């Protein structure tokens, strides 16, 4: 009997495989309920603070709509227009927010901030992305893989994560694979291989759960991958490293040739989004005009191919985040 009632969600490292499967199953149920147009009230009377120190489209929308569709009240707080961290310590803000809200979502820089919010508020706190981790994204991605490959258990899936294997998404994927006994291959330049601190945490969990975590700069490691996953080359907060990263990562752009390296015509292409794949964004134009560099991490052809499931992933952010809210806040669910 699994209950996540009153628990925080700071990293998948804090959860068992059964707890993760429980969240995925609940997300599937809530997704069906939504498709059937059945109104929800599982979060009635619950106020959720949504704190954002970094920008967001999907995570913010998924939390707002997820809360509202189950009858709760979300309150978006742009940290730059609040007292948080500048005129008030994280500890004091956490204690203040606990007087108004039943849970807090936080997106920002330091993993310590989300941990301190949980420690001092005493209410459930959700990690909506930090420099180290992005665990709600992995829930959505796992659900999407389950839906696309229903006959293959997640524990038999091989995920090849290509490009910046040192960022929050790479860590989050290592942690997720480690917990579910999956096969993770990070393929990127050695300058951007994972930090030892995060790699060691992933390896410790992997050893317990029969997972395989590999990091490589040899394309042979992509063979038989079920999923090719990539992310932007420059994460939020690293904008000053644009030129260096574009040069380190130029050979890791996802092209049809790279997809072929898996020797599996059904390999799924996944991306957490937002993505650079054509010239329709300011950042791509600016990098090209100012520095003469291409920062597109995936070709438009792959991004729009039939194997690409990026928009399914984006929709599943809603269902999985709603499941997380319901599991941790609804007494009826527990
Ligand atoms: N994938 C993701 O977290 O998107 P946002 O930055 O738009 O929230
Ligand atoms: N690695 C990216 C993920 C965005 C969802 C970033 O941190 O900017």
| Ligand 1 lined by 320 (C-beta under 6 Å) | no
| Angle of the 17-35 helix axis to the 310-329 helix axis, nearest 10 | 110
The domain segmentation of the chain, as residue ranges, is 12-133+315-333, 153-225+227-263+268-306
| Ligand 2 lined by 59 (C-beta under 6 Å) | no
The pLDDT-based confidence of 283 (bands split at 50, 70, 90) is very high
pLDDT score of 332: 83
Q: Which of 110, 132, 173, 232 has most ligand 2 atoms within 8 Å of its beta carbon, as the pocket-test mutant? A: 232
Rounded mean pLDDT of 217-246? 97
Question: How many Å apart are CA 314 and CA 165, to the nearest integer?
Answer: 21
* C-alpha separations of 84 from 78, 94, 106, 266 in Å: 9, 9, 11, 47
| Ligand 1 lined by 272 (C-beta under 6 Å) | yes
pLDDT score of 127: 99
Per-residue pLDDT tens digits for 133-156: 999 999 999 999 999 999 999 999
Closest-CA residue to 50 (of 28, 25, 67): 67
Rounded mean pLDDT of 187-212? 98
Query: Cβ contacts of residue 56 below 8 Å, gap of 6+?
Result: 107, 128, 129
Is the bond leading into 274 cis (omega within 30 degrees of zero)? Answer: yes
pLDDT score of 242: 96
Whole-structure pTM value: 0.98
The pLDDT-based confidence of 333 (bands split at 50, 70, 90) is confident
Architecture of domain 12-133+315-333: 3-Layer(aba) Sandwich (3.40)
Residue 108 has pLDDT above 80, yes or no: yes
State the CATH class of domain 153-225+227-263+268-306.
alpha beta
Q: Which residues are known to be catalytic? A: 107, 134, 137, 231, 272, 317
Question: How many Å apart are CA 130 and CA 54, to the nearest integer?
Answer: 9
Q: SS3 helix, strand, coil % of the chain, rounded to 5?
A: 50, 15, 35
Question: How many Å apart are CA 63 and CA 104, to the nearest integer?
Answer: 10
Per-residue pLDDT tens digits for 20-34: 999 999 999 999 999
Question: How many Å apart are CA 327 and CA 334, to the nearest integer?
Answer: 7
Q: Which of 55, 59, 76 has most ligand 1 atoms within 8 Å of its beta carbon, as the pocket-test mutant? A: 59
Computed over every residue of the chain, the mean pLDDT equals 98
Per-residue pLDDT tens digits for 6-20: 999 999 999 999 999
The pLDDT-based confidence of 223 (bands split at 50, 70, 90) is very high
Query: Cβ contacts of residue 121 below 8 Å, gap of 6+?
Result: 94, 95, 97, 98, 104
3-state secondary structure of 174: helix
The reply to whether 153-225+227-263+268-306 shares the fold of 12-133+315-333 is yes
Binding annotation: 56-59, 83, 107, 134-137, 168, 231, 235-236, 272-273, 317
Question: How many Å apart are CA 255 and CA 92, to the nearest integer?
Answer: 48
The pLDDT-based confidence of 110 (bands split at 50, 70, 90) is very high
Residues of the chain above pLDDT 90, percent: 99
């Amino acid at each position: 009997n699994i209950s996540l009632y009153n628990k925080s969600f700071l990293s998948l490292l804090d959860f068992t495989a059964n707890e993760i499967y429980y969240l995925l199953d609940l997300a599937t149920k809530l997704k069906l309920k939504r498709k059937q147009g059945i109104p929800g009230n599982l979060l009635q009377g619950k106020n959720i603070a949504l704190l954002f120190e970094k920008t967001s489209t999907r995570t913010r929308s998924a939390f707002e709509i997820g809360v509202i569709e189950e009858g709760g009240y979300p309150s978006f707080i742009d940290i730059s227009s609040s007292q948080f961290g500048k005129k008030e310590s994280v500890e004091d803000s956490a204690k203040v927010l606990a007087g108004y809200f039943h849970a807090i979502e936080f997106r920002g820089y330091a993993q310590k901030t989300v941990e301190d919010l949980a420690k001092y508020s005493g209410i459930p706190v959700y990690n909506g992305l930090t420099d180290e981790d992005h665990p709600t994204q992995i829930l959505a991605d796992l659900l999407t893989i389950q839906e696309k490959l229903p006959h293959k258990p997640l524990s038999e899936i091989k995920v090849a994560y290509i490009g910046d294997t040192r960022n929050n998404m790479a860590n989050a994927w290592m942690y997720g694979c480690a917990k579910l006994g999956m096969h993770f291959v990070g393929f990127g330049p050695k300058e951007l291989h994972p930090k030892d601190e995060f790699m060691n945490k992933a390896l410790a969990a992997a050893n317990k759960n029969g997972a395989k975590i590999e990091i490589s700069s040899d394309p042979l490691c992509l063979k038989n991958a079920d999923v090719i996953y990539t992310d932007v080359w420059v994460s939020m907060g690293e904008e000053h490293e644009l030129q260096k990263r574009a040069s380190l990562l130029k050979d890791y752009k996802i092209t049809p040739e790279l997809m072929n390296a898996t020797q599996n015509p059904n390999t799924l292409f996944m991306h957490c989004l937002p993505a650079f794949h054509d010239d329709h964004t300011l950042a791509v134009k600016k990098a090209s005009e100012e520095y003469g560099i291409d920062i597109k991490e995936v070709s438009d052809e792959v991004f729009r191919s039939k194997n690409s499931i990026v928009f399914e992933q984006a929709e599943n952010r809603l269902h999985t985040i709603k499941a997380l809210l319901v599991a941790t806040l609804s007494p009826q669910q527990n």
